[in-house]
Amino acid sequence: MTPGLDPSAMLRVEDLRVSFSTPRGLVRAVRGVDLVLGRAQMHAVVGESGSGKSVSMRALVGLLPRGRTQVSGRALLEGVDLLSLDEDQKVGVRGRSVGMVFQDPLRAMNPTMRVGRQLVEAVSAHGQLGKEALRTRTRELLDMVQVPSSLRVMDMFPYELSGGLRQRVMIATAIAGGARLLIADEPTTALDVSIQAGILDLFKTLQQDTGTSVILITHNISLALDYAEAVSVMYAGKVVETGSRLDLVASVRMPYSRGLLDSVPRGSQARHSRLVTMEGYPPGPTERLEGCSFANRCPWAEDMCRRREPVLGGEGDSLHRWACWKPLADQEVPA
C-alpha cells in the first residue's frame, strides 16, 4: 500500500502552497506541504517561528485574510477537498468537521459574555435544540473537557477563569459541533508545565474516547515526541521530515530535525555540556531559494544540495519520509 493512499486516513494534504502578496513582495509562506493524518491520531506539526506551520493549518479551514492570500493544493478531509469549498461551505466545515483551539483563549472568547452563554451559542450554531437539551448538552461538553460542575464556570466571565480552565472551555467550544478533527495551534504554550500536561492528556482522552484526530502545532519537539503518534517537521514552508514518533527519535534522517532534537537539553546529557547547535538563521520570507532551504546551515551539505531542491521521499511503504539528498544514517555524526 502506498502511504499516500492509506484509505483509513482522516485527512490527506497534498502539495499545499500558500503565498501572500505584501508591499515587500510575494511571501511564499508555505511551499508544498504533504501530510497524512490517521483516525484517532495525534499528529504534531513542529517548526520554529516562520516555518509556516500555523499558516498551512489555518489555510485548511480558510482562516487566512482573503484577497491577498493565494492557496493551492488539495486537502481531503474524509474525501471532501476543503480547499475547493466556497465560503458558505467552509463556514459549515468550521466547527462541524474541524474545530480550532488557539494559544490564547482569552482573545478567542467574548470578554463581555458569560462562559455558559458562549458555549450555548456554539452548541446551537450546529443544530436546533430545546432549552433543556441545550443545557444538558453544554453540561455534557464541560464534563468531556473535565471541568467539574462545582466550579460553576457557566456563570463566570472568561477573565475570571484561570488559563487552564479557559483552554478547557475553548476545547469544549471546538468540539461542540461534533468536530472529528481538532487543530490545536500552540494550545499550551502560554500555560505552566503543570497545567500543560492536563490539557495534552485531555486531547489524548478525546482521541481515545471519541476517535477525534488532533493536529498539534507546536515549536516544542520534545512535547511533540511525548504525546503525538506522528510528527512532521517543517522548515522554511515545507515539511522536511515526517514519520512516527519512533522514526523521528531512533532514525532521524533530515539534519534539521536532528538539529532540533539536539537543541533540547536532555537528562542523559552531562550538565553544563555544550549543546549541538545549528549555525545561522532560517531564510527570510521573501528570499528566493535554490536547492535545499537548509543547505546553508547544514554541516553535511554538498554541491547537489545547493543546486536541486529535494522532495519528500522514503523507503518502500514506510510513512517515514524525508526531503534530503544526504539523509543521515543511524547514528551518523558530522565530521
Partner 1 sequence: MSGSLLEVRDLVQVHRLRGARGGSQTLRAVDGVSFEIGPGESVGLVGESGCGKSSLARALVQLPRPTEGEVRFRDQDLCRLRGGALLRARLGMQMVFQDPHSSVNPRMSVANIVAEPLRLRGGTGRRQVRARVRELLDMVRLPASRYEARRAGELSGGECQRVAVARALAGSPELLICDEAVSALDVSVQAQLLNLFEELRSELGLAYLFISHDLAVVRHMSDRVLFMYLGRICEEIDAGDLDRAPRHPYTAALMSLVPGTQRDRSVMALTGEPPSAASIPAGCRFHTRCWCARDQCATQEPALVATEQGGRVACLFPLAPQPEPVGDPLLSYRPPGP
Q: How far is CA 143 from the centre of its chain?
A: 25
Q: Considering only residues 26, 80, 264, 304, which one is a binding residue for partner 1 as defined by CB under 8 A? A: 264
Distance, CA of 260 to CA of 46 (rounded, Å): 10
Q: How far is the CB of 164 from partner 1 (least distance, A)?
A: 6
Tell which residue, 116, 105, 122, 199, has the closest CA to residue 157: 116
Residue 115 near residue 154, CB atoms below 8 Å: yes
Among 108, 134, 195, 289, binds partner 1 (CB under 8 A): 195
DSSP-assigned beta bridge partners for residue 12: 36, 76
267 binds partner 1 (CB under 8 A): yes
Instruction: Give the binding-site size for partner 1 (rule: CB under 8 A).
Output: 47
Please state the separation of Cα 125 from the chain's center in Å: 25
AA letter at 304: M
Q: Which is nearer to partner 1, 93 or 145 (CB)?
A: 145
Name the segment binding partner 1 (CB under 8 A); options: 90-98, 99-107, 108-116, 276-284: 276-284
Ranges within 140-179 binding partner 1 (CB under 8 A)? 162, 164-165
Cell numbers for 62, please give them: 480558510
86-94, 104-112, 117-125, 266-274 -> range binding partner 1 (CB under 8 A): 266-274
Residue 112 interacts with partner 1 (CB under 8 A): yes or no: no
Q: Hey, what amino acid is at 32?
A: G
Question: Is 14:73 a contact under the CB 8 Å cutoff?
Answer: yes
**Residue 333 touches partner 1, criterion: CB under 8 A:** yes
Task: Give the separation between CA 74 and CA 302, rounded to whole angstroms.
Answer: 33
Binders in 29-58 for partner 1, by CB under 8 A: 48-49
Shortest distance (Å) from residue 233 CB to partner 1? 12
CB closer to partner 1 out of 114 and 245: 245
* Edge-to-edge order in the sheet of strand 42-46: 98-101, 181-185, 213-218, 42-46, 230-235, 238-244, 321-322, 313-314
Query: How many CA atoms lie less than 13 Å away from 12 in the CB half-sphere?
Result: 15
Interacting span for partner 1 (CB under 8 A) from 110-118, 121-129, 205-213, 326-334: 326-334
Closest distance of CB 240 from partner 1, Å:
14
Euclidean distance between CA atoms 65 and 248, whole angstroms: 34
Query: Residue-wise over 197-215: b if at least 16 C-beta within 10 A, else e?
Result: eebbebbeebbeeeebbbb
Give 51 or 173: the residue with its C-beta nearer to partner 1. 51
**Residue 313 C-beta: closest distance to partner 1, Å:** 22
CB neighbour burial string for 97-107, b if at least 16 within 10 angstroms, e if fewer: bbbbbbbbbee
Contact 164, 199 (CB under 8 A): yes
Q: Distance between CA atoms of 33 and 52, rounded to whole angstroms?
A: 9
* 281 makes contact with partner 1 (CB under 8 A): yes
The binder of partner 1 chosen from 7, 131, 277, 316 (CB under 8 A) = 277
Interface stretch with partner 1, choices 24-32, 123-131, 138-146, 327-335 (CB under 8 A): 327-335
Binding track, positions 231-260, relative to partner 1; x by CB under 8 A: --------------xx--xx--------xx
Out of 15, 81, 140, 192, the only residue in the binding site for partner 1 (CB under 8 A) is 192
Of 29-37, 111-119, 152-160, 273-281, the window that binds partner 1 (rule: CB under 8 A) is 273-281
Site for partner 1 in 199-228 (CB under 8 A): 201, 219-223, 225-226
* Between 39 and 219, CB nearer to partner 1: 219
Binding site for partner 1 (CB under 8 A): 48-49, 162, 164-165, 192-197, 201, 219-223, 225-226, 245-246, 249-250, 259-260, 262-269, 271-278, 281, 330-334
